[in-house]
Structure 1
Amino acid sequence: MDIHKSKKNELSLSHLLLQFTACAVCSGHSGPVCAVDAMSLSSQLLVASASSDSTVKLWTCSSDTAECLQTVSFGSGFMMDVSLALLPGSRVPVLACGGDDSRVHLYVQLNGQFQRLLTLTGHEDWVRCVEWATKDGELWLASCSQDCLIRVWRLFAKTATESNQQTEAVIKMKENVFQVSGDEFAVTLETVLAGHENRVYGVHWQPPCVKGDLVEQPLKLLSASMDKTMILWGPEEDSGMWVELVRVGEVGGNTLGFYGCQMSPDGFMILAHAFHGALHLWHCDRNQGEWRPSVVISGHFGAVQDLSWDPEGEFIITVGSDQTTRLFTPWTRKGCSEITWHEISRPQIHGYDMQCLTMVGRFQFVSGADEKVLRVFKAPRNFVENFANISCTSVEKLLGCNEIADLPEGASTPALGLSNKAVFQGDLASQSPQQDSEDFNSLSEQYKESYFQPLKLIEPPTEDDLLQNTLWPEVQKLYGHGFEMFCLASNSARTVVASACKASKPEHAAILLWSTTSWKQLQSLPCHSLTVTQMAFSPNGHLLLAVSRDRTWSLWRQGNPDSDTEASFSLYANTSKDTAVHTRIIWSCDWSSDSKYFVTSSRDKKVIIWGHRVSGVSVGECEGESVTPCSSVLDVGDSATAVSICPYLCSDQSFLLAVGLENGKIVLYKWRPLEDLSSGSDWSKCGETDTCQSHTLTVKRLHWRPRPGRAGHGGNEERAWVQLASAGADHVVKIFNIKISAL
């Protein structure tokens, strides 16, 4: 099993990070820590931390210990950011703090304690970020505020000559002078940068690009604002006046702007952290000097509630409580052999937290949210064409010529609406740019529709395009449930969809069945008394399994699956409070590929496989009462929140199961049916995720790829591999590669 290779394929920033081990823990704040900065000081690390408990703490950290050096209290106020540096020409630390009093406070370490020497005023709202930079033996401090302004301060050492000189004929900025150990220092306001139209939340100096002892580039300052732009500032070579050098940002979308920023040491890459959780990357063409958006890792910024592979196993679709539906697929970067996963479409950007979805075709899915309505989406032509380009296949192979011709070009979101409206080829010509009129005669003129612009992609889209130009048209709404949607399932033929909502009474816990051809409600299946937590159709499509908060499961059999008409389902078997084996909520369920067995996992830490005692007989071929446990009770040690059976057998013909736990760990087990459970153990543990690979919160869903091999790879040896996708409450989706031939 090569589960460690999954670290390359996680759809989150964690795949970019190394595994760190904490060498010291700074514990002492009574509230959330909002800012941290550190610097090396002799053999120790000096750390400053700001917290909402209205304090800033200074720590000294050595090999494996951390000691609180000092606590600075700010009464009823609190500091938003802190930054550490050394005074010019000395080893004396200086600390800058910016807070909700609209001021920047400077502290200097004297006799082992930090003392406040200066308070810099000028900002008219909260100071959100402060950062030091060193240039030519001087310190430069940038501070940004919610007043939309950036102030740049210069701290330098005053010489005796400068102190005695008369400067009556020279206009100079006011100097704030202070002394430290006999040396005199001054702080002046260098410039005020006004260019943003909304709150400025982040500033970052270009890191020094050092060759030998020479710092080659001039000072440059990057700022990030809630006006959805980032500006690169710098002094003019001749006049020294600070001007705007570059402005980048997103246009349109439903975001709130940028929260933070970083710049590469060479100054050719800019990274922004958006308020809604996404990263935005720009790079500068070294030859043309033009800044362009670049491909960057992306993912959910809320709990990932559900996921599904497409029937061919080439991409996955996920939904999350960040109110989005996202589509990820593997991509090979030009000139690089490594395959990475990227988001290539955001089919649905919603106004409610998303809870569930199921695929009902290669490019069609149904999703449910906290709005009591099911919505059906179908991929537009522009997505299919771009997916073909990115995956290096033909459109005709994905869809027939007639089918692709009938598809809309894309989708747009109407003003103040939740439904994605289809955009056809003829609509593109009639889309007029937003008028610059200041007079609004109607509501539609005040709230403009987000117009769709066709994309021609050979690589994953940027965040700007994901927000606006990758939506899928909504083709149907399904009404019938009285409460928030909770789970969905579809049969293997993609002809029937089962749905269930949150419920505290039996009448609300009924499962509804829908036809995917007419989108009409076929049936209501009452049985459970509380929320149905997950459902699964058997691979042969004859049976529907449901598990519930009421600690029971129910099994429904289709009357005549071979009939041309849509046959109804009837209750075939179920457990009651008297016969139930599970004693807590049953969270998850799944079927074996031969439809002979199904598995349930529960909060009671138990995983159980069910089926007929008659050897070789599938569930549904005998009387329902004979459906009993076929395995011993597996205790996994924690609440089993997700379970999935691999559709392919191990080398010893045993079944491979993945179990997701509430603590974020995923455990692999092999199960072999035994005629007599007392003759030996039918379960064997064959692997688990380590700390780096595990989710940090509850595993919400597990799904095996429906085909052997690894998505995006080719070759005959691929049949030795299987892939497992997991969704977590920690906002992360992970893809694991497992060598099943070695199990």
Structure 2
Amino acid sequence: MDITTDSISIGGNRNPAAADWDSEGSALLAFGADNGVALWEPQDSKLRGVHSILNKHTKAVNAVKFFPTGSSKFSILLSGSADHSLRIWRVKNGPSPQHDLVKTVTEHQNAITRISTLPDSDIFATGASDGTIKIWKLVHDSDFTTIDVELLQTIILNPRYFPLSLALARLDSSSMILAVAGTKSTIQIFISKGNHFELSATLSGHEGWIRALDFTRETLTDGSDLLLASASQDKYIRLWRVHRGEVLPAASSALNDPALGVLGRSLSNKAHRIESKEGKYSITFEALLLGHEDWIYTASWRHRKGKLQLLSTSEDNSLAIWEADETFGVWVCTTRLGEISAQKGSTTATGSAGGFWIGLWSPDGDSVVSLGRTGSWRKWTFEAEKDMWVQQVATTGHVREVKGVCWSRDGSFLLSTGSDQTTRLFAEWKRYGKSSWHEFSRPQIHGYDLNCIDAVTDSQFITGADEKLLRVFDEPRGVAEMLKKLCNIQSDNNELPDAANIPVLGLSNKAIQTVEDDEPIQNGNVDEREAVDPGSVMRKSTLDFDHPPFEDHLARHLLWPESEKLYGHGYEISAVATSNDGRLVATACRASSIDHAVIRLYDTKEWFEIKPSLKAHSLTVTALQFSPDDKYLLSVGRDRQWVVWEQNPEGAYVLRFNNLKGHTRMILGAAWTALEEPTFLTVGRDKTVKIWQLAADEVQLKGTVKTESAVTAVHCNRKTALASLVFAYGTEDGQIAIGRTTSPTFDPIHITRVDAQMSPARTINQLAWRPKTDGQRRDQLAVVSDDSSVRIYGLDLSKAQ
């Protein structure tokens, strides 16, 4: 079967060391995403986003670094994780990069926190929270077909602390310099004799943990001084000069800057003397960079257009570019990007991005990217004609387990929801013969983990969360017009609110109106002394896009107004399903007794509960689905039984069939087929997929598929030929398989597994086949997983053997 990955959406890990942009010509940016390493080409003109994920780590990836190879044909990638392992990957570059794991090293006794490489050498260093630095040599042949590592030295940090940042540089032809810092306010400098490093100096001055270190040559000429940038949680960046010779460099005029006041008097210009085989050196304080208002996470150098520039990112939601002012001899911030927000620590719903954790230069220095708290990347490119940095489309994704997924009724867009407490809308941007998937709206930003979702109409959906109630959301006009303009998605609902926001101290998304840009904001009959809440008004231009929205719009302006809350359940919501005619919603919650393991039905017109609730299960109901004609409702649960409820002439659902031992262990998923005879599938922890068919007075088991691990989700394709059954299931270890068989015998059942390199790394939570849309040539399957990814696969079922 021809299976392709059409889209991957995944958020980045919030760790300043967890991303690197390859400078060797591959154009790849690699970033830690849950337990995997995601590969993305930020400069790709097709804007395809993440195209593959390297899965082998068993815990979160903390550190990612490209090893310099000097070749654009392949890349060597180093990744370190909380699983204590260092893994080395070979990535073959091209239109569809191929990757393989070539080496796994488990020398560290705790989580690896940082990796640093040395250009033009085979030496690299790793730091871990076991309080050690390890120096390695990569042993390889000329084209990196065989790769091994040799441990050269283990440095035990004394006094013991966790290394959060490392920087390696060539001091001279015979020696290397290593700077180490972390959960202390000092920087330790090590100098190599051969390949053995010795502590040579300790630099003091910072007053908080040090998050970033980076070396560079002051100029591109040989023998120029080394500069070291150190960034700290004390909100300052310090620059240090490594100068060759007995004579000290000229003292920095920054020390005498009266603007520094008391701070200036605490800036020591004490010279630290170090030496190598070839000569003596001094390390002196060079400059203090002031401007950030919160913790600084990253600082990295780049020689750009003849000038030395420093890129820094901070918890204050800004990204800054610094350069030396030659006239006054001080360092100034020449560019500031991001958000200037006073709402520190507030949620994304109220407009705060929660800080920038990573900042990276592009290989050519004309673009920068940063990663924020929401797991989304931002990208800016310098446009010489405008002489300014312009924000461009980047990639976004969930940052925790994705629990639920559904297509809109007409299949035009995809909705996902999960434990990062957001609901996200993905659609296909179509322009100039190109198409790519992007996040177009973030309808719900919540305070509880979200567990399940289903579409009620083409412009309405419902979600269930840990807060014990369900919420119903309606599409706002601003989102509908954007989807129509960029994705050619038509909306038939003309009674849409303009937009939505979350009021200050509120919990529910409220509908708001938009006003023209030149229209004054009216107080109405309100006392003139009372100010209008700026959050209750939105300018129309705010929602006028000619590209997919950037993260700052997604996090603030593209919520959907909430129209209903559904109460009744006593515990966290576990399952929700909408009838095919859209008139009913069935819901269930986590339960350990028959009193709570009930299914509640709600009418979608007036949103009242239809009594009585349906009782049969004794433990949590894990999945619900209505049959294609809505005659039956199928429920399965942790009590190992499945139940078929039938609609009686009065329209109420009553128990028709149940099987107390449908599986030998808990049932985790269920799905109806589109076959003429009522047929459904169940899957469970007993590692089986079972096909059942309703007869006159019984339900017959028609087929069984045995799997290698627990099956957690199943969904049937309803667009296949009359007697043909095509279904997809996902397992606890991330495997996805497509099953094909025919009625009435259901024998044989052909199983095609999705390649492990294309599959998620952790439990599959839900799958959803896309309803057929106009112009859709291939079938598409959406898959969400505990590895925080939302994936869309393209399948050509006509070529299936």
- Residue 47 (structure 1) shift: 2.1
Kept in 1, the 8 Å contact 2:680–2:693? The answer is yes
Distance 2:667 2:520 in 1: 53
- Residue 130 (structure 1) shift: 0.8
Distance 1:230 1:368 in 2: 37
Which residue in 1 is equivalent to 2:761?
Answer: 696
Which residue in 2 is equivalent to 1:660?
Answer: 730
Query: CA offsets per residue over residues 571-590 of structure 1, 9 Å max, x none?
Result: 111111xxx24111111111
Q: Secondary structure in 2 aligned to 1:517?
A: coil
Q: Secondary structure in 1 aligned to 2:606?
A: coil
Which residue in 1 is equivalent to 2:90?
Answer: none
Query: CA offsets per residue over residues 701-736 of structure 1, 9 Å max, x none?
Result: 000001167xxxx3xxx44x2000000100000000
Greater gyration radius: 1
Q: Secondary structure in 1 aligned to 2:757?
A: coil
Query: Which range is displaced more, 539-548 or 291-300?
Result: 291-300
Kept in 2, the 8 Å contact 1:557–1:570? The answer is yes
Which residue in 2 is equivalent to 1:634?
Answer: 705
Distance 1:26 1:132 in 2: 27
- Residue 341 (structure 1) shift: 0.7
Distance 1:426 1:194, change over 3 A: closer
Aligned residues between the structures: 676
Distance 2:674 2:684 in 1: 21
Distance 1:157 1:475, change over 3 A: same
Superposition map of 1:308-323 within 5 A? 308-323=406-421
Which of 496, 512, 530 lines up with 2:584 in the alignment? 496
Distance 1:331 1:427 in 2: 26
Superposition map of 1:133-282 within 5 A? 133-136=216-219, 137-158=224-245, 162=247, 173-206=269-302, 208=303, 216-251=305-340, 253-282=351-380
Kept in 2, the 8 Å contact 1:506–1:527? The answer is yes
Which residue in 2 is equivalent to 1:9?
Answer: 7
Which residue in 2 is equivalent to 1:728?
Answer: 785
Distance 2:250 2:7 in 1: 64
Kept in 2, the 8 Å contact 1:269–1:281? The answer is yes
Distance 2:464 2:250 in 1: 75
Which residue in 2 is equivalent to 1:619?
Answer: none
Which residue in 2 is equivalent to 1:65?
Answer: 148
Tell me, yes or no, if structure 1 residue 358 matches structure 2 residue 454. Answer: yes
Superposition map of 1:414-563 within 5 A? 414-425=503-514, 449=535, 452-454=538-540, 455-523=543-611, 524-560=613-649
Which residue in 1 is equivalent to 2:78?
Answer: none
Kept in 2, the 8 Å contact 1:202–1:261? The answer is yes
Distance 2:491 2:516 in 1: 25
Distance 1:700 1:163, change over 3 A: closer
Gaps of 5+ in 1: 210-215, 434-440, 614-621
Which of 82, 86, 109 lines up with 2:192 in the alignment? 109
Kept in 2, the 8 Å contact 1:588–1:600? The answer is yes
Distance 2:429 2:583 in 1: 31
Which residue in 1 is equivalent to 2:442?
Answer: 346
Share of identical aligned residues, percent?
Answer: 33
Kept in 2, the 8 Å contact 1:92–1:109? The answer is yes
Kept in 2, the 8 Å contact 1:673–1:682? The answer is no
- Residue 430 (structure 1) shift: 7.3
Distance 1:427 1:340, change over 3 A: closer
Tell me, yes or no, if structure 1 residue 707 matches structure 2 residue 707. Answer: no
- Residue 189 (structure 1) shift: 1.7
Give, as a single letter, the amino acid of the residue that structure 2 aligns with 1:2: D
Kept in 2, the 8 Å contact 1:148–1:199? The answer is yes
Give, as a single letter, the amino acid of the residue that structure 1 aligns with 2:154: T
Kept in 1, the 8 Å contact 2:174–2:277? The answer is no
Kept in 1, the 8 Å contact 2:316–2:340? The answer is no
Give, as a single letter, the amino acid of the residue that structure 1 aligns with 2:749: W
- Residue 78 (structure 1) shift: 1.4
Tell me, yes or no, if structure 1 residue 398 matches structure 2 residue 491. Answer: yes
Which residue in 2 is equivalent to 1:684?
Answer: 750
- Residue 279 (structure 1) shift: 1.2
Distance 1:362 1:135 in 2: 59
Distance 1:77 1:450, change over 3 A: farther
Tell me, yes or no, if structure 1 residue 741 matches structure 2 residue 739. Answer: no
Superposition map of 1:112-127 within 5 A? 112-127=195-210
Distance 1:163 1:228 in 2: 38
Kept in 2, the 8 Å contact 1:708–1:723? The answer is no
Give, as a single letter, the amino acid of the residue that structure 1 aligns with 2:452: C
Distance 1:430 1:519, change over 3 A: farther
Give, as a single letter, the amino acid of the residue that structure 1 aligns with 2:184: D
Query: CA offsets per residue over residues 569-622 of structure 1, 9 Å max, x none?
Result: 10111111xxx2411111111111136210011111100000035xxxxxxxx2
Distance 1:284 1:607 in 2: 54
Q: Secondary structure in 2 aligned to 1:382?
A: helix
Query: CA offsets per residue over residues 207-250 of structure 1, 9 Å max, x none?
Result: x57xxxxxx53111011111111111011244442111100112
Distance 1:134 1:531 in 2: 62
Kept in 2, the 8 Å contact 1:702–1:724? The answer is yes
Which residue in 1 is equivalent to 2:144?
Answer: none
- Residue 314 (structure 1) shift: 1.2
Kept in 2, the 8 Å contact 1:358–1:365? The answer is yes
Distance 1:145 1:499, change over 3 A: same
- Residue 415 (structure 1) shift: 1.3
Kept in 2, the 8 Å contact 1:2–1:738? The answer is yes
Query: CA offsets per residue over residues 358-411 of structure 1, 9 Å max, x none?
Result: 100001001111101111100111111111111135xxx422xxx42x322101
Distance 2:380 2:251 in 1: 48
Q: Secondary structure in 2 aligned to 1:384?
A: helix
Query: Which range is displaced more, 363-372 or 60-69?
Result: 60-69
Kept in 2, the 8 Å contact 1:708–1:722? The answer is no
Kept in 2, the 8 Å contact 1:19–1:692? The answer is no
Which residue in 1 is equivalent to 2:106?
Answer: 27
Distance 2:723 2:633 in 1: 26
- Residue 38 (structure 1) shift: 1.7
Which protein is richer in strand relative to its size? 2
Which of 649, 663, 668 lines up with 2:720 in the alignment? 649
Gaps of 5+ in 2: 11-37, 40-49, 53-96, 141-146, 257-267, 342-350, 524-528
Distance 1:670 1:165, change over 3 A: closer
Distance 2:132 2:455 in 1: 51
Kept in 2, the 8 Å contact 1:364–1:376? The answer is yes
Which residue in 1 is equivalent to 2:683?
Answer: 601
- Residue 30 (structure 1) shift: 1.7
Distance 1:329 1:93 in 2: 50
Distance 1:674 1:516, change over 3 A: closer
Tell me, yes or no, if structure 1 residue 583 matches structure 2 residue 583. Answer: no
Q: Secondary structure in 2 aligned to 1:670?
A: strand
Query: Which range is displaced more, 255-264 or 599-608?
Result: 255-264
